[in-house]
Every structure is written in structure tokens, then in C-alpha cells.
Amino acid sequence: MTVENYLAEAGALATLAGVLAGFAISAVIQLLSTNPEGKITTATILTFSASTVMFLYALIVFVLTFAATAEQNRVLSELDTIGAVAVLVLLAAVYVFLAAIGLTGWIRSRATGIITTVFAVFTMCLTTFAITSVFSVF
């Protein structure tokens, strides 16, 4: 892989991780500021919080590997393992984030909970299909 391709890939993944971390922490702040009581709300806050820290971990790794690669002007094979782990953490964070979205509807009502859960599961299925399709070419 060329340095330019590596930097483009790391930059895109860092952007994705950063934007999704922002959405997740915004959801946590919103839920905490409205202060609704209940086990579902607590579970939703914890799930969004988990996805936030997972996205932030991936973001930090992508930014650091981007900086190291740009500074050395070569793709550093020593960072392959941590980069692969960061990609896996990012993918897992997407699923945790989707699960949190599915949980949010249950705060409002049973009908809304069912609908948001169906949307989240459907999106998880589409995401899994996309990931397996891309990974199958490697």
C-alpha cells in the first residue's frame, strides 16, 4: 500500500470514528440532562457511553498512525496490529451504537421501542452484509 493510500484510509476512518463519537456523546449528554429515571434509560446511557469510548479509542489510534506514517513518509508495518485492532474496535463500536439507537425507543413507549429495535437490527444486518462483502475480497 502506498503512503498516500494509507493516509487517505486512516484519515477516512478517523473522520468516521470522530463523527460517530460526537453523536454518541451527544446522546449521552442529552439523556443525562433530561434526567429520565429508569433501567432502560440507564442501559441506553451505558450503551452510548461504551460506543463513545470505543470510537474514541479508534480515533486516537487512527490519528496517531496517520501522524507516524506522515512523519516517516512510509507505511509502518510495526503499527499493523494496532491498526487492525482499531478497525475491529471501530466495527464493534458501530454495532454497540446501533444497539443504543434500538434501546432509545424503549424510553418513549413500547411501540416506539419495537420500531427502533427493528430499524437497528435491520441496519445491523445491512452493515454485516457490507462488511462481509468487503472482507471477502481480501
Q: How far is CA 61 from CA 19, 29, 64, 137, in A?
A: 15, 24, 5, 25
Q: What is the pLDDT of residue 36?
A: 78
**Domains in the chain, number:** 1
pLDDT of residue 37: 84
Look at the pTM and tell me if it is higher than 0.95.
no
Domain that holds residue 42: 3-135
CATH for 97: 1.20.140
Would you give the DSSP letter of residue 77?
G
Q: Which three cell numbers stand for residue 62?
A: 487512527
All cell numbers assigned to 54: 470505543
Would you give per-residue pLDDT tens digits along the chain (138 residues)? 899 999 999 999 999 999 999 999 999 999 999 877 899 999 999 999 999 999 999 999 999 999 999 999 999 999 999 999 999 999 999 999 999 999 999 999 999 999 999 999 999 999 999 999 999 998
Q: How far is CA 135 from the centre of its chain?
A: 18
Dihedral over alpha carbons 133, 135, 136, 137 (to 10 degrees): 100
pLDDT score recorded for residue 89: 98
The three grid cell numbers given for residue 106, joined into one nine-digit string: 424503549
